[in-house]
Amino acid sequence: MQYYSLNKNAPTVSFEQAVCNGLASDRGLYFPENIPQLAPDFLSRLAAMTIEDMAVEVMQPYVGNSLTEAALREIVSATLCFDFPIQSVSEHIGSLELYHGPTLAFKDVGARFMARCLGHFIAGDASAKKTTVLVATSGDTGGAVADGFLGVEGIDVVILYPKGKVSPLQEKQLTTLGKNITALEVDGVFDDCQDMVKTAFLDDAIKQQRQLTSANSINVARWLPQMLYYFIAYKQLHKQHKDIVFAVPSGNFGNLCAGMMAWKMGLPIKHFVACTNSNKVVPEYLQSGNYASKKTIPTISNAMDVGAPSNFIRIQEIVANNFKALKAILSGFSYSDTATRAAMQSLRTECDYVAEPHGAIGYLGLEAYFKQAGDTSSYGVFLETAHPIKFAEEVETTLDIKLEFPAQVAGIMAAKKQAISIATYADLKAFLMD
């Protein structure tokens, strides 16, 4: 499998090169030269397959010759080592809980897969320079990347996060590990962090000093494994439900984009719903046909506070930039903080389900789609992307409850924060050049 830049002005590369580069030389995102199709008998074999076997078969065409089947299987096994349950919320709606991994967020799958791929590639290259993973986070990515790469030989991790715009637990997860993990606290918003990262990748002075790659969903090894959520969910549901709709809380749109890749491969998904907070660039585009990035608006669902979602260009590529085709498979809805809190309360009182703000927005979008489409026969799945404890203050205040800390993060709030404050790209460059 070869990967090309969506800016169409850079050489095609292998999976290994795409992972190590992060971003193409023309600043474009990498995209596979073709989207492989599932084997004709894949769906008939699905019930009897293990999750590991299924994941290896799905991912193998994308890694191509960059990984042997044995190496891929080892990486998949170490990545998918926790549960992905679907909790029933109502007769026709379930919550796909993606927070049972080590950092309590859906980003664990992509971060663990990428960390193991990159570690494998570096270990197999005697001439490889020490690699710096440079990543921007709006919340959960930072903690997942920090955990996934902690202690990996030959790799340093530098994480940029917006000051005061991640939850206290999220901040602790990315600022307390030490070792090969460094956190940079940026005086700005997530889009500022993301712009700094992209600029650094094209800075020749930095590239002469460090081998850079990214662990945001712009990296193919972070983005593509998220397809597996949808295969895992479909495997659990397909015997009971013919038509399945996925509602995805969306910020940088990597997760939703991966789901659409699964659909394009042949996984029978009826429809997707892009669910956003007040940062509603994509829902507005789906209404008007005019795409325009905007200044980020801070909300209680901070992981989705993105005004210029990087992965949307990949979604457009999946449908060959055909707006009509996109509208046929994707709907979009956005919600205020007030509506989000009301949904959290409704889920608690009417469904006995505790959702954090991002999952609540997914639920709202799913209900809105069913009403708009007049769809009474499909089964809806909203993705609960983080454990409620990651937004404890908001959840406890809104629902008047007290949450218990899961074992994965017991004691972390008492750990000492270690972060370096920066404000401009010049500050980042100075740090990387030091």
CA distance 308 to 196: 14
**Residue 44, burial from CB neighbour count under 10 angstroms (0-12, 13-18, 19+):** exposed
Looking at this protein, which amino acid is placed at residue 300?
I
Looking at this protein, which amino acid is placed at residue 95?
S
Of 8, 107, 294, 295, which is the active-site residue? 107
* Residues across the chain: 434
H-type alpha helices, 48-188:
51-63, 69-79, 107-123, 140-149, 168-175
Q: What's the token pair of residue 388?
A: 């409620």
Phi, psi of 331 (to 5 degrees): -115, 160
Question: In sequence order, what are the beta bridge partners of 185?
Answer: 161, 421
**Do 100 and 83 contact (CB within 8 A), yes or no?**
yes
Residue 7: strand, helix, or coil: coil
**Residue 165, burial from CB neighbour count under 10 angstroms (0-12, 13-18, 19+):** buried
Residue 80: strand, helix, or coil: coil
Active-site annotation holds for 179: no
**Element housing 349 (H / E):** helix 337-351
Which residues are tagged catalytic? 107
